[in-house]
């Protein structure tokens, strides 16, 4: 079983992206899962082509895209990607789309096909604070999440996938309020936990996918 995990390059004037730091530290194997990784540019125009290529190269059953959300205190397993691009700040190419679709004519939204509740429960059991999130925003992360789920609904139907937002690293643009900061080690371990719980639920996830088609 192969999984592809992606992180984003730094954006918005930062020089570190917690998602990329975590993805770089993943081992190449977690139990029975072979882990491939890729770096996506924080660019509306370029990110999905890089993701597509990485998927074709790795041939994964599971794709987990990871991005940094500086306003989150804990890792958030995203539930839904929406067909909207609406940027408050420019991406790394200076693009700042307003109220545009990710894919013209695409459905309004796609749900993650990761077991989001089981993933959060497994993260808690592993000592990693986590939550389900009902919005991945409207910046490049949501764009990539929507594009991934569109691929998985059309050309690449064996893929089960979703998105994980992680907090900024302690001391690097993090806004954690009173919560204890989540360490890079916890984020790395958390990604492994999400992959493991997805892999172990795959036959049930496939049955659900078949029943809803």
By annotation, the residues acting in catalysis are 78, 141, 165
Name the helix (H) or strand (E) containing 38. strand 33-40
Provide, rounded to whole angstroms, the least separation between the CB of residue 96 and ligand PCA.
13
163-202 residues in contact with ligand PCA (CB under 6 A) are none
Site size with ligand PCA, rule: CB under 6 A: 12
**What are the distances in angstroms from CA 112 to CA 20, 55, 57, 163, 189?**
21, 17, 22, 7, 21
Position 37 contacts ligand PCA (CB under 6 A): no
The nearer residue to ligand PCA, 140 or 159, going by C-beta atoms, is: 140
Collapsing DSSP states into helix, strand and coil, what is residue 85?
A: strand
Contact between 6 and ligand PCA (CB under 6 A)? no
Q: Which of 50, 58, 8 is nearest to 28 (CA)?
A: 58
CB of 53 to ligand PCA, least distance (A): 18
Kindly state the DSSP code that residue 69 receives in the 8-state scheme. -
The residue of the chain with the least Cβ separation from ligand PCA equals 141
Find the binder of ligand PCA among 4, 5, 11, 38 (CB under 6 A): 11
The stretch near ligand PCA (CB under 6 A) out of 122-130, 134-142, 149-157, 198-206 is 134-142
Q: Which residue has the tokens 């892999």?
A: 199
Helices (H), the chain: 18-24, 47-58, 116-125, 140-153, 184-200, 202-211
Task: Give Cα separations from 89 to 29, 65, 144, 189, 203 (angstroms).
Answer: 36, 21, 17, 31, 40
Residue indicated by tokens 């990710």: 102
Task: Please report, for the chain, how many H helices and E strands are present, in that order.
Answer: 6, 9
Per-residue contact flags (x/-) with ligand PCA for residues 65 to 104, judged by CB under 6 A:
--xxx-----------------------------------
**Between residue 139 and residue 168, which ones bind ligand PCA under the rule CB under 6 A?**
139-141
Q: Does 42 bind ligand PCA (CB under 6 A)?
A: yes
Q: Is 113 in the site for ligand PCA (CB under 6 A)?
A: no
Q: Which residues bind ligand PCA (CB under 6 A)?
A: 8, 11, 17, 19, 42, 67-69, 137, 139-141
């Amino acid at each position: 079983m192969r999984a592809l995990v992606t992180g984003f390059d730094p954006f918005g004037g930062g020089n570190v992206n917690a998602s990329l730091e975590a993805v770089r530290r993943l081992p190449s194997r977690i139990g029975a899962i072979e882990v491939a990784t890729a770096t996506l540019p924080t660019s509306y125009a370029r990110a999905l082509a890089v993701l597509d290529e990485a998927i074709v190269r790795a041939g994964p059953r599971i794709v987990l895209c990871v991005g940094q959300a500086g306003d989150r205190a804990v890792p958030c397993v995203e539930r839904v990607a929406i067909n909207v691009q609406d940027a408050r700040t420019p991406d790394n190419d200076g693009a700042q789309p307003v109220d545009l679709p990710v894919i013209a004519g695409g459905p309004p939204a796609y749900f993650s096909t990761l077991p989001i509740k089981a993933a959060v429960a497994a993260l808690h059991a592993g000592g990693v604070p986590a939550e389900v999130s009902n919005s991945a925003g409207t910046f490049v992360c949501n764009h990539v999440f929507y594009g991934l789920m569109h691929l998985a609904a059309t050309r690449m139907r064996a893929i089960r996938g979703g998105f994980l937002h992680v907090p900024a690293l302690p001391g690097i643009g993090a806004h954690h309020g009173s919560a204890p900061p989540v360490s890079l080690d916890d984020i790395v371990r958390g990604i492994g936990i999400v992959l493991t719980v997805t892999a172990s639920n795959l036959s049930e996830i496939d049955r659900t996918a078949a029943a809803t088609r």
